[in-house]
A and B are shown apart, each in its own frame.
Chain A
């Protein structure tokens, strides 16, 4: 069972890495909008960009 003494600390290190990655993702704004991504799948993505103002 002494393998646990290696594996558990290793797991904790990976946990720490996961927390760090999530904190980074939150900090860079990836989780600021939790509502529209769920909706985006039903939107048409072939809409034209707004016309330039030469009209």
Chain B
């Protein structure tokens, strides 16, 4: 150990503040009283081995935080309900331990905790950095355990117990097991089938044949009763509700082939079909598995759904900090958020400056600066400053909560189009069962020996699985792809509407434009200085202003500083630069004796009542607006613009984007009327707005898209939400919607052609059951994989 770095945490030691501690008789240097305390604690509990066993620490690891959290509140029983489980006299909780970096850490934590009075067991999982603690409630409490961990220099986070496993995870686990049983069963059954077929040609001893059939039966049985169980269950439910689905023919085919094979095995009959049964079940299970994965992925992508909000927050109560469960936050609470922590609720920044990462909500990966009065969004991450915030909205009312709610809605509501496909498939099943019955009846008269095999083949080959999967598979693949592009589909119908849209109506402010003014032109009225000089001066004047217009000048001061700011509300601002008193604002404010025009989009800079420069301000277009509109016009026949702004501003935007059909000074009611008129003229209208001011208009359109960032999202209810500040994903959405409908049509066409060709062949007895199983399964897999092509749409 050198003396220049801390023995405990590895940070360099400031020679002026050097502390020493004896470990195993050797003096060691540490950097601060905190490290000294931790090292002493470790030594005094007989854990000095820790220093010998550990790997070299990342400097700073294990150093106690200066503002160590107060965990006393966690000794109370009501906290245990939120963070652990009470079990008679004992209790149990999971704790995430930040700052744990090697095996020696887990040893230290386990040994220290189990030595503490009242702790029964502590199991550390070094991979997930979690420790599971059991203790006797009479002797100690969660708060004391957490304080012990803090005392060791770690940063513990109690974890809210998971209410069971997430349903998707449980579903995927079950499906995987079913798939594996089916695949292993299929491989084994086929292997024995090869032996049996060879025996048919070459001859084989009867007892060997019976033995091979018996082992085939043994491997097929779990496939039928375990892997195929969902098909039987669904078929039964369909029968009970008198709405037979595609599972009914599957269940009949699997069940009857299995029973007939078993019977044939017991009575020494001609053939068994165990190989066909397992293969059929395997391919069906595989198709279901792929479809399930596509569905789950769209859930995962539709906004990192869970685990982004902190479990505990530091609430500021009359100056004292208390750590409380995040679920107890109510609007109005004041909360302290440290760097690296997630913002627990939507709120307002009260004190401190920081930057936040809002990538989760807006797709914007650059850190966003935030200072006093700015809005903060739940789920974004505080990057570099300690801040105090006021909680405004919690839980389901936050923007994140809204996204989750809309994503849930999309997950559970089946789009009309899919429902229609379901109904058709239901009818088809009845028809196909009828066909199978007729074929069976005819063959049992004409050739009773083959009646069962042929009927089985017809049943298997006609199973309308492909038809039933055609639409939902394509829709969920499309939704997944769009979510990756930060477009959340909250209403499945929207995809279909987008595909056949004939008119797109844009709002202007905040949609085509960024919603904040910028300088479009600077005119120099007094040529003693250059336009750039005037801009610098104006920017220095506006530096102290919070007026929206000031945003246009941000970052243009080039180091010029002004002093003595005086703000005249609604008029302008005055300040001194290099001894000259400047005024910036309306014409009448800068040059009082010459009240000129009063155009709100023009502001003047002057000194001593003399005008020096004029700045034309306009809400600037989004960087990709022109490109996006141009590409959209290739996809959609008509693009129009409806805005509440004045004629001049709207016509300028329309002209620069090449939109001929525009309306200015529209009230929301007039916008809605315009949309209704277009709809009556036969147009399918998609409205794109910022989602809040346009809410009624959005609701009136056939499909609505809200372009919104962060906090404003909380109020929107649009069918499609675009996160972030770019318009390009909208074009992708239209393209993807068309592609989706094209794939749905391809899938439906394939399913119909396949059935039309396969049914007569099977009915004529040309298709053995195994070939029928391959044909039907291949057909379903083709449909699902065709749909999965959508997940790569748009690069």
Contacts and interface: CB of A to CB of B under 8 A. Distances in A.
A24 to B, nearest CB: 11
A44 interface: no
A32 B169 contact: yes
B279 to A, nearest CB: 17
Contact of B184 (A18, A27, A48): A18
A8 to B, nearest CB: 6
Interface centre among A12, A15, A52 (most CB of B within 10 A): A52
A35 B176 CA distance: 14
A19 B187 CA distance: 13
Chain B interface bracket (under 10, 10 to 19, 20 to 34, 35 or more):
20 to 34
A49 B184 CA distance: 42
Contact of A15 (B99, B176, B188): B188
Contacts, number: 61
Given A4-B211, A15-B219, A53 B155 contact: yes
B27 interface: no
A50 B61 CA distance: 10
Given A12-B219, A52-B155, A26 B184 contact: no
The 5 A-B residue pairs whose C-beta atoms are closest, nearest first, are A26-B173, A53-B338, A22-B180, A32-B169, A26-B176
Interface of B: 58, 60-61, 63, 65-66, 98-99, 101, 155, 169, 172-173, 176-177, 180-181, 184, 188, 205, 208, 211, 215, 218-219, 293, 297, 338-340, 384
Interface of A: 1, 4-5, 8-9, 12, 15, 18-19, 22-23, 26-27, 29, 31-32, 34-35, 48-55
B161 to A, nearest CB: 16
B172 A54 contact: no
A51 B60 contact: yes
B302 to A, nearest CB: 15
Given A27-B173, A31-B173, A49-B101, A54 B184 contact: no
Contacts of B297: 35
B63 A54 contact: yes
Nearest to A27: B173
A12 B173 contact: no
Contact of A52 (B63, B188, B205): B63
B215 A55 contact: no
A36 to B, nearest CB: 11
Given A26-B176, A52-B65, A19 B60 contact: no
Given A1-B208, A4-B211, A53 B339 contact: yes
A33 B288 CA distance: 18
Contacts of B65: 52-54
Contact of B99 (A1, A26, A32, A52): A52
Contacts of B205: 1
Nearest to B169: A32
B215 A8 contact: yes
B173 to A, nearest CB: 5
A23 B169 CA distance: 14
